[in-house]
A and B are shown apart, each in its own frame.
Chain A
């Protein structure tokens, strides 16, 4: 079975500062890794995904993540955040391309001026 840990429930940051949202996973098999963003009162939008290949994955809105197999991590980064990045961010894992997603508990990113 897979599990995902997002240690930070909330990350406050000032506008234009860099940010890293941490995600660690546990799995006995190879996994696909995802980051989703949820803006207030909206659904889940895919930010980026790691399926195979390069361990550095670039997504939408300037976000990127690095898959580290030895540390079982998939941390999300952005070099300079905007107020509009304020949202809930969920890391998720799946054993295949078509099986269910297992989500972490989410990290609320709060960007202030």
Chain B
């Protein structure tokens, strides 16, 4: 069965550094999402992406965040200057009608 793949599974970075989280969505899906889950808290929507542009973003998704689909397959989330509070599990999802398929997540630890 097709699946969403995320790399790396765990990333440790120093505060102020840039990180890029990578996702390979399911190939025939058209809608892509990033969510995050701070430890012990609920899963929160960050951004949705359709037709090579952002279709919706949350208040969390400020200027330090960006997304792109550089080569038609990978879907990346970039955090330009990481803060301690960016430490969380980041999930990528791709959607077909009525069902979101989630990757295994990237655990980002900012130190």
B84 within 8 A of A: no
0/1 interface trace, chain A 89-106, chain B, CB 8 Å (1 if under): 010100001111111111
Pairwise interchain contact A100-B48, C-beta atoms closer than 8 A: yes
A49 to chain B, nearest CB (A): 6
CB <8 Å contact, A98 and B97? yes
Number of interface residues of B (CB under 8 A): 23
In the bound complex, do residue A105 and residue B42 qualify as a contact, i.e. CB atoms below 8 Å apart? yes
Interface size for A (C-beta < 8 A) is 22
Interface flag for B75 (CB, 8 Å) = no
Contact A43 B91 (CB under 8 A): yes
Q: Contacts A90-B43, A104-B42: A97 and B56 contacting too (C-beta < 8 A)?
A: no
CB of B25 within 8 A of chain A? no
With an 8 A cutoff between CB atoms, is A63 at the interface? no
Within 8 Å by CB of A97, from B33, B41, B44, B97, lies: B97
Residues of A31-65 at the interface with B, using a CB-CB cut-off of 8 Å, are 32, 34, 36, 42-46, 49, 51
- Bound form: Cα–Cα A80–B43 in Å: 28
Decide if B42 touches A97 in the complex (CB within 8 Å). no
CB distance from B33 to the nearest CB of A (A): 7
**Choice from B45, B103, B105 contacting A100 with Cβ under 8 Å:** B45
Least Cβ–Cβ distance between B53 and chain A, in angstroms: 14
Q: How far is the CB of A6 from chain B (nearest CB, A)?
A: 9
Chain A residues, Cβ within 8 Å of B95 = 97-98
Least CB distance from B30 to A in Å reads: 8
CB-nearest residue of chain B to A50: B98
Interface presence of B99 (CB below 8 A): yes
Task: Digitize B35-53: 1 where CB-to-A-CB distance is under 8 Å, 0 elsewhere.
Answer: 1000001111100101000
Asked if A43 and B44 sit within 8 Å, CB to CB, the answer is no
Question: Residue of B at shortest CB range from A51?
Answer: B98
Query: B11 on the interface (CB 8 Å rule)?
Result: no
Give the most central of B44, B91, B100: most A CB within 10 Å: B100
Q: A45-B102, A46-B99, A101-B45 are in contact. List 4 more A-B contacts (CB 8 A).
A: A43-B104, A46-B100, A98-B97, A102-B45
